[in-house]
A and B are shown apart, each in its own frame.
Chain A
Amino acid sequence: MENTENSPVLNEEVKTPGKLSRMFLTIYDVNRFIMRFFKEGFLPPYEGKELLRQCYEIGYRSALLISTTGFITGVVFTKQSRPSLSEFGATSWLPSLVGIALLRTLAPLLTGLIAAGKVGSSIGAELGSMRVTEQIDAMEVSATNPFKFLVSTRVLAATITMPILTFYTALVGLLGSLLNVSMSEGTSAKAFFQYSLEQITFLDITASTIKAILFGFTIGMVGCYQGYNSSKGTEGVGKAANSAVVIAMFLIFIEEVVSVQFFSLFRA
């Protein structure tokens, strides 16, 4: 695909560039891809039906895996934290500790990593396979903008559903913790939620929402970029799916570190 509006920069004009040049060309190309999303993603005609379908695919289809992970994390985190707290006679702080840990870091990070694995690879493989079987070209020649239909909808759907999945993970994690706490200490559900939520501030919720949005955007964008620009047949499809996961996870960790530093400025 080499039309100016659609082409990756790495075309046949560039004669075997060196590693450094290739890196800069890729950065430039990724930048163009992101700019194209902002340029086209919010302008009509809208692909509302496809956006809803993608929200369902990304959100609902990931719910079971995320529920299981969130619940187990809640149980295990509570169980592992108890001995340390009981040394100081502070087991009553367990619900608040779990609540803060889940909402501030565990829920966004776990949801992001799971979604990167499940959603990122699926987007990379699907778009990659569409590219190598010329389905994207077929959309292009039938006067439809494939970027809008395939990329914009997936990136938007991932960005919208990630905050919802993140708070869902936090809730399921708290339920796991509640199970453990009520079995060990006999704490009631009402008291557990009262203690676990009382330390949570508006800043915690805002920070988690922003992080989740950022993670969702990253997962969608990386998956789409890798899939949309894949080549070299079936090998390219596998590579697109794999690199979508690896790059998205790497970026999520970097974003987590940066956002923790950034939001800690407001906690003082």
Chain B
Amino acid sequence: MEQKPVTDFRNEKVIEIHGLNKSFGNFHVLKGVDLDLYRGENLVVLGKSGTGKSVLIKIIIGLLRPDRGDVKVLNKVVDEISYKELLELRLKVGFSFQNSALYDSMTVRQNLEFPLVRNRKNLSRADINKAVESTLDAVGLLHAINQMPSELSGGQRKRIGIARTLILQPEIMLYDEPTAGLDPITCIEINKLINEVQERFHTSSIVITHDLTCAKAVGNRVAMLLDGQFQRQGTFEDVFNTNDDRVKPFYEYNFIQ
């Protein structure tokens, strides 16, 4: 397991979260979360299932509303902007779903064209084809262009899902469990792709995962969500160099596995 080189990205903040709270009924998931994402960095958010990792990125993209607290994305407070402004913001933020969420009635080509034709109206048919093909090429799946999502493997679906978000050339990428349910070899390929996306498309990313191999391979910085708050942040070593009983089993289980 190769670790990503440590780089200090503390320049411009692209996401700023302060005092974020979110409950579902009586279940208080996020309890005053504070988090910043800097331009160009890959931030890995770790935590057990059900700790609110996915909720956090769904709040960032405006799919869920916070109960309290501020979420600022590219200097816009997500909860305060109009629906039109939110749609404009979403053009700059890509979201890769855990189950890929490909449109199963459309081919791979149509899946990639869908956001493009609706948001880049000045593009000609030739431009659209070129964008679709080059994005598919970037994720190594140009040959699957005319296939239906049901004909693809889990790893291929993940790649197409990432390609569909990349086609709008976002500044920020949000990955929800990118390696969940994949075999170790495909996990390595997806980790590599996340790093390639960071370098090639100059994106800033939040990667939600509980896979430490993924965290170590793609994260410039790691933040661990414990009891509704980010209790530990820093490099992979900073986070796991502890005797905290809530953190140690997580590390040990992943490596024994």
Residues of A whose CB lies within 8 Å of any CB of B are: 1-5, 7, 12, 15, 45, 130, 133-135, 137-145
Among residues 1 to 41 in chain B, which have CB atoms less than 8 Å away from a CB atom of chain A? 23-26
State whether A137 touches B114 (Cβ < 8 A): no
B residues less than 8 Å from A15 (CB atoms): 25-26
CB distance from A132 to the nearest CB of B (A): 10
A141 and B25 contact, CB distance less than 8 A: no
Q: B115 in the interface, Cβ–Cβ < 8 Å?
A: yes
- Say whether B101 contacts A3, CB under 8 Å: no
* C-alpha gap A7/B93 in the complex (Å): 21
**What residues on A are CB-neighbors of B72 within 8 Å?**
none
Beta-carbon contact of A142 and B114 below 8 Å:
yes
- Chain B residues contacting A12 (CB-CB under 8 Å) are 23-25
| Category for how many chain B residues contact A | 20 to 34
Chain A residues with CB under 8 A of B93? 141
Contact B83 A144 (CB under 8 A): no
Q: List 9 A-B contacts (CB under 8 A).
A: A2-B63, A4-B65, A12-B23, A45-B118, A134-B98, A134-B101, A135-B103, A141-B94, A142-B168
**CB-based nearest B residue for A144:** B118
Task: Report yes or no: B97 in contact with A143, Cβ–Cβ below 8 A.
Answer: no
Q: Which residues of A contact B63 (CB under 8 A)?
A: 1-3, 137, 140-141
- Give Cα A70 to B104, complex, Å: 34
- Residues of B with Cβ closer than 8 Å to A? 23-26, 61-65, 83, 86-88, 90-91, 93-95, 97-99, 101-104, 114-115, 118-119, 164-165, 168
Residues from chain B with a CB closer than 8 A to the CB of A5 are: 83
Q: How far is the CA of A47 from the CA of B240 in the complex (A)?
A: 51
Nearest-neighbour CB distance to chain B for A133, whole angstroms, equals: 6
**Complex Cα spacing A137 to B95, Å:** 10
Docked-complex contact A141 and B24, CB < 8 angstroms: no
Cross-chain contact B99 with A134 (CB below 8 angstroms): yes
Neighbouring B residues of A135 by C-beta, 8 Å: 101-104
Shortest distance between the CB of A57 and any CB in chain B (Å): 11
- State the majority secondary structure of interface residues on A: loop
Contact indicator B88/A3 (Cβ below 8 Å):
no
Task: Evaluate contact between B103 and A138: CB separation under 8 angstroms.
Answer: yes
Complexed CA–CA distance, A129 and B255 (Å) = 37
Taking the closest CB of chain A, its distance from the CB of B84, in whole angstroms, is: 10
Question: Measured between C-beta atoms, what is the minimum distance from A254 to chain B in Å?
Answer: 33
What B residues does A141 contact at CB under 8 A?
A: 61, 63, 90, 93-95, 165
Tell whether, in the assembled complex, residue B83 and residue A143 are in contact, meaning their CB atoms are under 8 Å apart: no
Contact B87 A145 (CB under 8 A): yes
Q: How far is the CB of B248 from chain A (nearest CB, A)?
A: 33
Contact partners of A45 in chain B: CB under 8 A: 118
Smallest CB separation, A237 vs chain B (Å): 13
B101 to chain A: which residues have CB within 8 Å?
A: 133-135, 137-138
What is the CA–CA distance of A139 and B26 in the complex, to the nearest angstrom? Answer: 30
What is the bound-complex CA distance between A130 and B102, given in angstroms? Answer: 10
Q: Is the CB of B119 within 8 A of A144?
A: yes
B25 near A143 with CB under 8 A, answer no
Contacts of B87 in A (CB 8 A): 143, 145
* Assembly CA distance A140 to B118 (angstroms): 12
Closest to A138 in B: B101
CB-defined contacts of B104 to chain A, threshold 8 Å:
133, 135
* Nearest 5 Cβ contacts at the A-B interface: A142-B115, A138-B101, A134-B101, A141-B95, A143-B90
Interface pair B119/A138, CB less than 8 Å apart: no
Name the distance in Å between A85's Cβ and chain B's nearest Cβ. Answer: 51
A217 to chain B, nearest CB (A): 24
Bound together, the chains give a CA A130 to CA B63 distance in angstroms of: 15
Give min CB distance, A227 to chain B, whole Å: 14
Report the minimal beta-carbon distance from B232 to chain A, rounded to whole angstroms. Answer: 28
Report whether B99 and A143 are in contact in the complex, using a CB–CB cutoff of 8 Å.
no
Residues from chain B with Cβ under 8 Å of A3 in the complex: 62-63, 65, 83, 86
A70–B46 Cα distance when bound, in Å, is 61
Given A134-B97, A142-B165, A143-B119, 16 more A-B residue pairs with CB atoms under 8 Å apart are A5-B83, A15-B25, A133-B99, A134-B98, A134-B101, A135-B101, A135-B103, A137-B97, A138-B102, A138-B164, A142-B164, A142-B168, A143-B115, A143-B168, A144-B115, A144-B119
Could you say which residues of chain A place their CB within 8 Å of the CB of B164?
Answer: 138, 142
Closest to B59 in A: A2
**What's the nearest-Cβ distance from chain A to residue B85, in Å?**
11
Q: Is the CB of B97 within 8 A of A138?
A: yes
Query: Please, which residues of chain B bring their CB within 8 A of the CB of A143?
Result: 87-88, 90-91, 115, 118-119, 168
Smallest CB separation, B80 vs chain A (Å): 11
- Taking the closest CB of chain B, its distance from the CB of A159, in whole angstroms, is 22
B90–A142 CB distance below 8 A: yes
CB of A222 to closest CB in B, whole Å? 21
Distance to closest chain B CB from A208 (angstroms): 33
